[in-house]
Structure formats: C-alpha cells, structure tokens
Chain A
Amino acid sequence: MRIGWVRRVFRAWLGLLPRTITSRYAEDIAADFDLEFAERWKRRPLDAVAFALRAFAEVPMEAVRSRRGGGSEGEGPAASWRDDLGNAFRSLRRSPGWTAVAVAILSVGIGGTVAVFSVLQAVLLEPLPYRQDAELVAIWTHNLEQDLPDGSSWENARDWVERSRTLDEMALVFRPEFTSATVTATGEPERVEVGVVGDNFFTLLGVEARMGRVFGPGDAEGESEIAVISEGYWKDRFGSDPDVVGRTITIGGEEAVIVGVAPSNLELPLRQTRVWQPLNPRPADGRDRRHTDAYRVVGRLAAGETVASAQSELDRVAAELAVEFPDANRGRGVRVHSLRSEIVGDGLPLLLWTVLGAMVMVLLVAGTNVAQLLFSRALRRRREIAVRAAMGASRARIGRQLLLETAIVGLLAGGAGVLIAYLGIELLVGLVPPEVPLASGTRMDARALSIALGIGVLLAPMIGALPALRATSARPASLLKSASRTVVGADRRLRSGLVVAEVAVAVVLLVGAGLMVRSALELNRIDPGFDDRGTLIARIDLERRMTQPELVGFWGEVTDRLQARPDVEGVAVTGRFLVERKPDATIEIIGDPPRDPSAPTPKLSFAPVLPGYFRALGIPITRGRGVLPTDNLERLDQVVVNQAWVDAFARDRDPIGLQFRWAGDEGAPSMTVVGVAGDVRRTRLDEAAYPFMFGAHGNHSADVLVRTEGDPLALAEVLRRVMAEYDPGSTVSDISTVRDRYEASMVPRRIQAWLIGLFAVLAVALSAVGLFAVMSESVQTRRKEFGIRTALGATPGRLRSEILVEAARLCGAGLALGFAAASSMARLADRLVFGISAFDPVTLASVAGVVGAVALLASWVPAAIANRASSVQSLLGD
C-alpha cells in the first residue's frame, strides 16, 4: 500500500497547529505519524485507519487547546482563532435552514456508508470466534471435470495431513446435510441439525465449553453415546438448567448423555447445529474406503503458512494419491479455502463490497452537493467577504473562517451520521436473511463512531476548500464593484463541472440498479421446470422402521389419503427436493469403451421418488414412461432420467433402453433407462438442472410436496394430522411453499437490487438538487441580461429554451461520462447480472430517459423564471 499521500495530507493538515510548534516539530510529527501508520498497517489495516483518523482529528483539537491555554503564545493568534471559531458558529446560526440542509445531506451519506461498512466488517473483517482463526481452513476434494466440490474420505484426509508440512492438523465432520436427526430432549420429538464431528473438532477450533466439557481424545471410541448441546438448545429445551450435564437426550432413537454446552458463537458445521456427537472415522472392519466422500474437512495451517502455500502443496499430494490409488482418486483434486470464505460463501463478499461501493458513490454525490451549497453561500456573502477583505482581513484569515464553518458542518453531519448509521444498521440487519452468517454480530461500536466523525471532519475541508479558495481569490475592489451581480466565469465552470460529475455518478448507480432490478425480474421469469405455484413442501421423518416394500406401501397410503381431499391436486414424495449439495455419483454406460482414466466422468444425483411423482408435479415425460408402482422395489433396475442426464451421458444415442451401472464396480447390477422427464431445477432457481436419475424408492426421511388450488400452507395442519395418524412418532418440519424455498435462495440478489436501487434514487435526487441550484443561480445572475434582451425584443420562449439547452448540455455530459464509467465496470456487472447483458439496452435507455426527465424537471422552474423576467423589473433590480 502506498501511503505517501496520507502523509502529505497529514503534513499539510499540521498547518493548523501554532507556528511555534510546527516550526520546530512538523517533520518529527509527520515522521512519527508515518512510522506508526506503517506499523499498524502491517498488522491490521483497520487499526491504521482508526489511528490516522484519530491523528487527524487531534490536530485541530490540539491547535485550539494550545492556543486557549497558552498565554505565552501571544494575544494575537489566540484571539483571532477564538474569534474565527465564534464567527463561524454565529454565521451558521444566522442561516439555520442552509446549515440544516447541508448537515442533512452529508449525514445521510456518512451514516449510510458507516452502516454498510459495519455490516461488511462484521461479516468479512472481524475475526471468527475461534483461536487463531486465520490459520483455519476448509479442505474439499474437488471433482476436476465438473469443477465441483466433493466430500472426502478419512483415508485421503489423513494422508493430506501426514504428507504435508503446511497442514498441522485436521478434523473430520460428517457431511452435515446427512446428519439431521429426530431428537427428543424434554418435550416433543423434533428435527434437529446434529454435528457429527471428530473428537479433536473442538480443540482444533479452540472452542471451550460454556459448561461441562467438549469432546476430547478417545470420546469417539467410547462405549456409551455422548453429546454436546448448543447454548441456544440448552436455554430453549432445558431452561438453562445448571445441572444439564449428565442428563440424557434421545438422538435418532439412541440415548446419549450430555457432557457439555457449547458457546453460542459456534456455528459449525452449520449455523443451525444444536447438538454435536463424536465421530469415529476409522472403519471397524478395516476395509479401505478411500473412494467415499462422507466427510468435510476442517484443517489448521502450520504457523506461517498460507492458504496458497497449502493449496500448492496439497495439489502435489493429491497428484501422488491419484497415482497410488487410481480407482479412488482419478480426477480428484483438492481445494483449500480459508474457513471464513467457507462460512461466508462466494457471493456475499462481492455483494457487500458492491453495496459499499454504491454507498460511497452516494457519499461522493452528497459531498459534491454540499460543495454546491457552499458555492451558493459564498456567492451570497460576496459583499460581506469583500467588506472584510477591504478592512484588512487577510485572504488566509477569511479562508480559514469559511473552512471552519465547513468543518463544523462536517462534525455535525458526522454526529447526525452516527444516528443514521445506527438506524441503518438496524435496518440492514433486519433485511439480511438469517442464513447470512455472522451478520447478526453487526453493531455500532466505537470504531464505527470514530469513522463517522472522521469522515465528517476529513470530508468537510475537502469539500470546502474549493469554494473557499474561489471566494477569497478575487481582489476586494472588483468584488465590491461587482458584488452579487455577476458570477465569475471560472466559478460557473467549476460548478457546472461538479454537476456533470454528480450526474455521472448518479448514472453509474442507476445503471447498476437498473441491471439488478432487470436481473431480479428475469429471475421471476425462470421456469423451474414445473408449475410450482400452490405447492406445499414439508420434511417428514418417520419413526416406524419398515422394509422397502412396506415403506412404498406406507407412502402410497399417505398419498392416497391426502389425494382423496377435494382441494388436493397431487402429492409427490421424494428425497430432499431442493438439494444444496452438488451431484456426486458416477456411472458407466455398459458397452462403452473404458473411459480415459485421467478424464473423470460427469457426475449425477439420484432422487428416490414414489410412483406418481412426475404426474403430481406436472413434470412432462418426454420419452418412455414415468416411475410405476410395478417397478422393482428390492433392486433399482429401471430408472427415469432427466434431459440433463441425456445430454451428459447419452450423447447422440436413443436414451431409452440404455444400460449403465454405478462406476468403479464391475459386479454392480445394471440399470436401464425407461423414460426421460423434463428438467426441474432442484438446487437453486438460478442454477440450471444437473443430471438426475429417478427410481422407485421409499425413504424414512422424505420431502412431501402437495399441490393445491387454494392456500398451500392451509394444508400443513392436514398433513400433520394425517402423519400423526399413520405414524404418531413422526416429525413434520420445514413447512413452506416451493415458491418460498426458491425465493429464499434469491433473497441476497433482491436485497442487493433493493439497496442499490435506493442509493440510485438518492443520488438522482441529490444531483437534481445540484442541477436546480446551478440553473437557478445562472438565471438569477443573468436577470439583467435577460431583461435587456427582452426589452430588445427577444421572445420569452427563446430565453427559456436557452436555459433548457444549457441544462441539457450538463446532463448530456454527465450521461456520457456516466455511461463510460459504467461500461468500464462491465466485467464486475457481468458477475452480478442474471439473464441479461451488462450492456442491457433496456436498462441503458431507461437510465437515459430517467436522467433526462429529472434534468428537465430540475431546470424547468429556473427556465420559467427566466421567462418571466420582465424588462423593467430586471433593469431596476439591485
């Protein structure tokens, strides 16, 4: 990071201090600042920023202090400084309206920026609540061909650690998507996320028990079942019973003794994990299960190692393992991520930084607007300034007072910004869906506070410098002569330039907002592959244990019972309907030549369904038939596949009758394709369907989908009643509609569109105000000219159109600049949009339309005033 400019600004800033100090120590102060800033930057950049803000803020405070206290400083400077401060306050008090508007505009920018930054800081910058969190990594097996992450085997994970220097330790976690269980604590049985974790899991993370103990060596091999529960679970289900350790809960039918309570900030392996049980990955039968993918791996880097160094070493280890165990590891790589990125996910950082970027743009527009206001104010005070200059006040003195006024405005805006930031944080945290990790930790802290005040104090002089410089530049004589009549040409140009800049930034934001809103609309138009309106979805976990035919019969009865109701159109039973995990099974088409061992096969998912699944959901069967009640239940031999499967495996052949088997097992029985169904999106709405195969199979844990004409959620009670009747120990959970499930995965996109839309509206409104101010003053100062011209016969229409053309020129320049800036960000936009191009013509045209309309609106009133300028009035004016 080049911090030279920070130092230069700081060095200039020191000019505020009394000369007695600066003449001796300016270099030392600047050098110390430099040294300390650099030191802190190396350790923690945020700290350095906080330090710099403090150092900057201390300078004017110190200046006031030393001048107030020091009689030895001489009466002159001390008095004048006090005078200036007093004058600045008085002057602002004389125009409370102006002050309020300036403070309000700036505080919205500051408060919003701090609010967004606070959320970003909580999610992306605060340390995770684990020991040495920067050393923690998540390690995934990687399917190289499909470029998809995959679970790992104990054997491979063990070898990664043993063969690498960069990894110190690893802990296994059974893939949490498989480990929710029916748990009974004190009341009704309920479905709970259970973390099945290696016995070193807690010690690896450095998490200590809130009460009792966590797992330790040997716990996994213990005779009896034990469990650690979350603090939340302890509160909800045990009323924070201090003697909870030693009590038992039933997990999936097995009794387990509670040995401890984990702290509430442990959100692994899932945010919702409420119970942990120890895991013994060593296969009891000693068989090698290197090809399996049952585990997620959390690792700790050796001291001084980075994710990148671990990645490059593990690349080598993975290549070795692929050679030594080709059957299990062909086409398998390794990916190392920081644990934080694992928890936070891919999309969130981009989203947060984009929103922060947008907010900073609003702050810039707000700052520019306040600069406009300062120009107007200076213009109005031209005569006052001229008089003071004529009476001998130095240019520096006048400038200092103007700057002091701005600094006070900045400080007030910073204070008001703190309040807005506080409200903004509440709003943002309320908006963020509970699935977004770590966001709930967002709070208004001292750092956010100092940043708000710091921005105010720092921004104000930057904003104020130009107007103050302009206001004090002209010679007093000419100022007095021309006071309030004409605007200096350079002034006009400067201010016009500011308007152009404001419009340009607003255009960038509008383009961004437009693209996101359009993407959100595109998302609404996605066809998930079936009619998902009016469909209830619920997770059901049976208590009764049944054989496969019994299960299918059981679900058949439940389905018939529900379907008998007049308001039910169809009932479908399947495994988990919307899966977060990517496909992971591999197959071989029988008769195909052996595959190139270095080229892994595409992967697919298997979905167990009950007969009638496709009909109930209205999924078209394009070839062959669906799943029938007569299909073999003991052995999966006839399957229906989706179109994505056909595209991946059948290539140009007729898929019907194609025979295949699970890969890597010569003896495995074959399966035959008997039908092709339409693609249904079973991960997220914005992700295309993966290859799927469907076969008749009943599960003890299943998703039930019920289609109805009426309100789907009204059927939830019916479903509960029916299930209680057929299996009283069963649980019905995660009740929702399919539409809501899809929507939930789209929430971050929508929030982003919503926020950036809001920012764009703010920016447009602010630029409209800026344009209005410039045009009004332009008209005001040219009244005499207009009067003369009207007297000489110029038509009112001509004057009006002249003003409108001037406004159009500014707005056009802003548009052009804005579009240029927006197109330079097209690569970023490409990652944010969905279903449209970053140069979406509809968006660009709408933006131009909106900006044009707003500009017309903002300049219409000034133009009308110009129009009305009657010759007599204007000529007599002044």
Chain B
Amino acid sequence: MSIGSFLPLSPREFHILVALSEEPRNGYQVSQRVEENSRGAVRLSPATQYTNLHRLLGKGLVEEVTEASLSRPDGRGQRYWTLTGTGREVLRAEAERMTRDAGLVRGLAK
C-alpha cells in the first residue's frame, strides 16, 4: 500500500501518532500526551483510545512492545506502543500535507 492511501489521518489518529513519535508510551501516557499536545481539543476516552490504537495496529502504523520490567501487580506486562517505520513515514507525509494545505490559507490567519 502506498503511503498516500493512509492520508488524510483523522485528528485522533494524527495525535496518537505524534505522541508515539516522541517515544514509546503506554495507553494512559498516550491519552495524557494527546490532550496536552492538542491543548485539550482532542480527548481520548479509554475506549476510543484503544479502538484507535487497534485500528492503527491493523494498518501497520504502530506496534506493541511489552515492557516486562514494568509489570503490574497482577503479573501482566505493561503494554507499550511505538511507531513502525511505515507509521513514521505516514506521519511525515501527513505533516507535509498539512503544511502544504496550511500554506493555501496563510493569508486568512491573521
């Protein structure tokens, strides 16, 4: 699949990819970071968060890493997420697309 076929990303997907592009994070950290990055404009409730991550996983843009060292009391490993190579390329392409589109309306934003 070409990178272009993933575009445009939904605001949620975009922000999740941005959050993961900085470093691998677990679900809670992703939602905190997204809310911070978007200044509260994008909020991910837990259910939304994981269905979106699951979808991105299905598209091959993110992958799971299990951090055994951060295991929970219940013995399960903490699930971490990180960008795949494709994910990073898609994010870069999306950023370029947004910059280009933003250029079209630069005169308006005063």
Interface residue ranges, A against B (CB under 8 Å): 14, 17, 20-21, 24-25, 27-33, 35-36, 51, 54-55, 58-59, 62, 65-66, 70, 72
Contacts and interface: CB of A to CB of B under 8 A. Distances in A.
30 contacts: A14-B47, A20-B54, A24-B54, A25-B53, A25-B54, A27-B76, A28-B27, A28-B46, A28-B50, A29-B27, A29-B49, A31-B72, A32-B31, A33-B46, A36-B28, A36-B46, A51-B45, A54-B43, A54-B45, A55-B45, A55-B46, A55-B47, A58-B45, A58-B47, A58-B48, A59-B45, A62-B48, A65-B51, A70-B55, A72-B58
Contacts of B74: 27
Contacts of B48: 58, 62
B79 interface: yes
Interface string B74-104: 1010010000000000000000000000000
Contacts of A54: 43, 45
Contacts of B43: 54
Nearest to B52: A62
Contacts of A14: 47
A29 B27 CA distance: 8
Closest 5 pairs (CB-CB, A-B): A58-B45, A55-B45, A25-B50, A29-B46, A32-B46
A21 B51 contact: yes
Contacts of A27: 74, 76
Interface string B16-53: 00000000000110010000000000010111111101
A652 B108 CA distance: 89
Given A54-B45, A55-B46, A72-B58, A32 B28 contact: yes
Contacts of A55: 45-47
Contact of B79 (A28, A35, A59, A66): A28
A458 to B, nearest CB: 14
Contacts of B46: 28-30, 32-33, 36, 55
Nearest to A57: B45
A62 B28 contact: no
A222 B46 CA distance: 60
A29 B50 contact: yes
Contact of A17 (B31, B47, B76, B79): B47
Given A35-B28, A36-B28, A29 B47 contact: yes
B47 to A, nearest CB: 5
A17 B28 contact: no
A308 B54 CA distance: 50
Contacts of A28: 27, 46, 50, 79
Given A17-B51, A29-B46, 13 more contacts: A14-B47, A17-B47, A27-B76, A28-B50, A32-B27, A32-B46, A36-B46, A54-B45, A55-B46, A55-B47, A58-B45, A62-B47, A62-B51
A17 B55 CA distance: 14
A27 B58 CA distance: 20
| Interface size grouping (class) on chain B | 10 to 19
A70 B55 CA distance: 9
Contacts of B76: 27
Nearest to B50: A25
Contacts of A21: 50-51, 54
Chief secondary structure at chain A's binding surface:
helix
B41 to A, nearest CB: 14
A33 B45 CA distance: 8
Contacts of B47: 14, 17, 29, 55, 58-59, 62
B82 to A, nearest CB: 16
A28 B79 CA distance: 8
Contacts of B53: 25
B15 to A, nearest CB: 16
A32 B49 contact: yes
Contacts of B31: 32, 36
Contacts of A51: 45
A35 B46 CA distance: 10
A24 B45 CA distance: 17
B84 to A, nearest CB: 18
Contacts of A70: 55
A27 B47 CA distance: 11
B67 to A, nearest CB: 13
Contacts of B27: 28-29, 32
A33 to B, nearest CB: 5
A70 B27 CA distance: 22
Nearest to A14: B47
A50 to B, nearest CB: 11
A42 to B, nearest CB: 15
Nearest to B28: A32
Contacts of A35: 28
A68 to B, nearest CB: 12
Contacts of B51: 17, 21, 62, 65-66
Nearest to B78: A28
Contacts of A65: 51
Contacts of B58: 72
A55 B43 CA distance: 10
B29 to A, nearest CB: 10
B80 to A, nearest CB: 11
A29 B44 CA distance: 11
Nearest to A69: B55
A3 to B, nearest CB: 14
A452 B48 CA distance: 21
Contacts of B55: 66, 70
A51 B47 CA distance: 12
Contacts of A24: 54
Most chain A CB within a 10 A radius of its CB, from B48, B72, B74, B76: B48
A229 B3 CA distance: 64
Most chain B CB within a 10 A radius of its CB, from A29, A30, A32, A36: A32
B38 to A, nearest CB: 15
A74 to B, nearest CB: 14
A54 B47 CA distance: 10
A54 B43 CA distance: 10
A735 B47 CA distance: 62
Nearest to A66: B51
Contacts of A32: 27-28, 31, 46, 49
A655 to B, nearest CB: 70
A87 to B, nearest CB: 24
Contacts of A17: 47, 51
A35 B78 CA distance: 14
A55 B47 CA distance: 7
A556 B49 CA distance: 81
A24 B54 CA distance: 9
A25 to B, nearest CB: 4
A799 B76 CA distance: 65
B52 to A, nearest CB: 9
A376 to B, nearest CB: 34
Interface string B52-67: 0111001000000000
A342 B49 CA distance: 44
Most chain A CB within a 10 A radius of its CB, from B28, B47, B51, B54: B47
Nearest to A51: B45
Nearest to B58: A72
Nearest to A58: B45
A479 to B, nearest CB: 35
A58 B44 CA distance: 9
A35 B28 CA distance: 8
B75 to A, nearest CB: 11
B5 to A, nearest CB: 15
Nearest to A70: B55
A730 to B, nearest CB: 57
A21 B53 CA distance: 10
B109 to A, nearest CB: 26
Contacts of A30: 46
A53 to B, nearest CB: 10
A632 to B, nearest CB: 73
Nearest to A25: B50
A20 B50 CA distance: 11
Contacts of A66: 51, 55
A6 to B, nearest CB: 13
